Amino acid sequence: MARGSAATAEPEQEIPQYTHRQVLKILSGLMMAMLTAMISTSVISTALPTIVGELGGQEQLAWVASASLLTMTASTPLWGKLSDVFGRKLMFQSALLIFVLASVGAGLSQSVGQLIAARA
């Protein structure tokens, strides 16, 4: 069959058209989520010596700092596939919920191990 024939042609997907207001709403939501992640990172890096000093685990300082980066890097392909299957909006909201719950867990941690697990 010739290239582009009806038998091999894929159906074209319609690209949704958003109003200017919808685009601004979407972008502001994404920017607020990124701001939350950036604030979390900068607060932890600033307060980390005090936090680890209170919990007593100086030898595990590097793990506290890099646990979230390591898990984020390893899970990015999984989040991408899940967002293809279940939708980007749902997965974005789920990721924010997990982030908030993990932040609460990190704030309530009583040991460096708990802190590392919550940051991961």
Burial class (CB in 10 A: 0-12, 13-18, 19+), 29: middle
pTM: 0.69
Q: Which of 8-12, 46-50, 83-87 has the lowest mean pLDDT?
A: 8-12
Per residue in 53-66, pLDDT (tens digit) is: 788 777 787 887 78
Residues in the chain: 120
Q: Which of 33, 69, 70, 50 is closest to 112 using CA atoms? A: 50
- Three-state secondary-structure class, residue 1: coil
Contact 70, 120 (CB under 8 A): yes
Higher pLDDT pick, 4 / 48? 48
- Three-state secondary-structure class, residue 54: helix
Mean pLDDT, to the nearest integer, of 87-110?
Answer: 88
- The tokens describing 22, both together, are 């919808």
Give yes or no for residue 29 having a pLDDT over 90. no
